[in-house]
C-alpha cells in the first residue's frame, strides 16, 4: 500500500475511534519512490561529483551501496565554532546544509567488505592539485610555527639511527623545513602532486619531486629498502587507491623503518560533522583490514577525530 493510502486509512479509522497499526517494516524503494528527484528537479538539486565509482576505492570490492545523500552549501569563508568547554570549541565549518536553491547534493556509498564510506560520485581532485598553490601561500603567511610541534612528534616516532626521511604529499614543505631546522644532517625528500609546492620546496634547498603517488613508480626516487621514516599526513583519503599507495611507501622503507599516516575516521570516538571535502572514511574494522594487507606491525595508534597510525616494516 502506498504511503498516501496508509495515511488516508489511518486518519479515517482514527476519526471512528479505531486504531490501526502502521507497517512494521519500511516500504520497498519501488513503492516509496515514484520518481528520481535529482532528474525531476535537476535545475534545483544537483548531485556533485565528476567520477562515478563502481567499486570501493580502499579494497576494490564491487559490493557497494548508497549510504548517505545530503545537501551542503559551501560557506563564503571558514567558520569556527565558539563553544567554550565543549569538545567542539575551535573546530571549523566550511559547509552547512542550507535551504537556498539551487542546491548541491553529496552522496556517499559504503563497502560491505571493508566498511569504507566514500564519496560516489567523487570530484576529480587530482586535476586541481596539479596547480594548487594554497600550501605555499600558507607557508608564506604563517611560517613554520604551526608545524614545529608536529615535526617534534614525528621525531619521537623515528627508528633508531634514522637518516633518510620522506614526506609523501608534503604540501608546502613545512614539516620538511622543520625537520631540517631541528636536524640539518637528515637526508630529506618531499613528494607532492602540486608543481608550485615542489618548485617552492626546491627553492628552499630541500629536495622535492613532483609525483602522482597513485600512478608513478616510486622506486626511482625512493629505492626499495632505503627510507627510515615516511610521513603520509592527511592524504589517505585524497589518493585514488590508498592501499596501493601505502604498499608503495612500505616498499621504500628499510626493515624496521616506520611510516606514519592519518585516515579520516568514523566511529564512537568521533563527534565531528561529515566533511564533504574528505572523500573516504574508515572504521576500526577497515583499518585492521588495511594493515593486514601490509608487511608491517602496528607500532602506535591514536584515535580522536582521525586515525593517527604509525606502522613498522617487518
* Exposure on the CB side of residue 9, measured as CA atoms within 13 A: 11
H, E, C per residue of 150-174 = HHHHHHCCCCCCCCEEEEECCCCCH
Residue pointed to by grid coordinates 633518510: 164
- Decide yes or no: CATH 3.40.50.150 for domain 127-313: yes
Q: 276-312 burial, b for 16+ CB within 10 Å, e for fewer?
A: bebbbbbbbebbebbeeebebeeeeeeeeebbbbbbb
CB 52 within 8 A of CB 120: yes
pLDDT on residue 6 = 47
Phi first, then psi: give them for residue 107, nearest 5 degrees: -120, 140
pLDDT on residue 313 = 98
pLDDT on residue 38 = 93
- State pLDDT tens for residues 262-289: 999 999 988 888 999 999 999 999 999 9
Q: Using CA atoms, how far apart are residues 143 and 149, in angstroms rounded to an integer? A: 13
Quick check: helix, strand or coil at residue 220? Answer: coil
pLDDT < 50 regions, the chain: 1-7, 10
CB 302 within 8 A of CB 262: no
pLDDT on residue 2 = 46
pLDDT on residue 166 = 98
Return residue ranges of the chain for CATH 3.40.50.150: 127-313
Q: Using CA atoms, how far apart are residues 47 and 103, in angstroms rounded to an integer? A: 9
Question: Rounded to two decimals, what is the model's pTM?
Answer: 0.87
pLDDT on residue 18 = 54
pLDDT on residue 10 = 47
- State pLDDT tens for residues 174-200: 999 999 999 999 999 999 999 999 999
CB 314 within 8 A of CB 299: no
Amino acid at each position: 500500500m502506498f504511503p498516501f493510502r496508509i495515511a488516508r486509512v489511518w486518519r479515517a479509522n482514527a476519526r471512528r475511534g479505531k486504531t490501526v497499526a502502521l507497517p512494521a517494516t519500511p516500504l520497498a524503494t519501488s513503492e516509496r519512490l515514484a520518481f528520481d528527484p535529482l532528474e525531476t528537479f535537476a535545475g534545483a538539486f544537483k548531485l556533485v561529483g565528476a567520477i562515478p565509482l563502481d567499486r570501493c576505492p580502499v579494497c576494490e570490492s564491487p559490493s557497494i551501496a548508497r549510504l548517505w545523500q545530503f545537501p551542503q552549501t559551501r560557506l563564503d569563508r571558514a567558520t569556527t565554532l565558539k563553544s567554550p568547554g565543549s569538545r567542539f570549541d575551535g573546530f571549523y565549518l566550511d559547509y552547512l546544509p542550507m535551504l537556498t536553491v539551487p542546491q548541491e547534493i553529496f552522496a556517499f556509498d559504503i563497502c560491505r567488505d571493508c566498511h569504507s564510506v566514500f564519496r560516489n560520485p567523487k570530484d576529480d581532485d587530482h586535476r586541481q592539485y596539479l596547480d594548487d598553490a594554497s600550501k605555499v601561500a600558507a607557508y608564506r603567511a604563517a611560517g613554520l610555527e604551526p608545524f614545529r610541534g608536529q615535526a617534534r612528534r614525528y621525531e619521537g616516532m623515528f627508528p633508531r639511527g634514522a637518516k633518510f626521511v620522506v614526506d609523501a604529499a608534503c604540501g608546502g614543505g613545512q614539516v620538511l623545513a622543520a625537520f631540517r631546522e631541528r636536524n640539518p644532517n637528515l637526508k630529506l625528500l618531499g613528494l607532492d602532486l602540486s608543481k608550485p609546492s615542489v618548485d617552492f620546496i626546491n627553492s628552499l634547498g630541500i629536495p622535492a619531486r613532483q609525483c602522482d603517488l597513485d600512478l608513478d613508480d616510486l622506486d626511482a626516487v625512493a629505492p626499495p629498502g632505503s627510507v627510515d621514516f615516511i610521513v603520509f599526513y592527511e592524504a589517505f583519503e585524497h589518493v585514488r587507491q590508498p592501499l596501493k599507495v601505502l604498499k608503495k611507501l612500505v616498499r621504500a622503507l628499510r626493515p624496521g623503518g616506520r611510516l606514519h599516516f592519518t585516515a579520516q575516521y568514523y566511529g564512537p570516538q568521533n563527534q565531528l560533522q561529515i566533511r564533504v571535502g574528505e572523500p573516504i572514511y574508515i572504521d576500526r574494522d577497515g583499518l585492521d583490514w588495511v594493515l593486514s594487507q601490509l608487511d608491517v606491525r602496528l607500532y602506535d595508534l591514536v584515535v580522536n577525530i582521525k586515525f593517527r597510525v604509525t606502522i613498522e616494516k617487518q
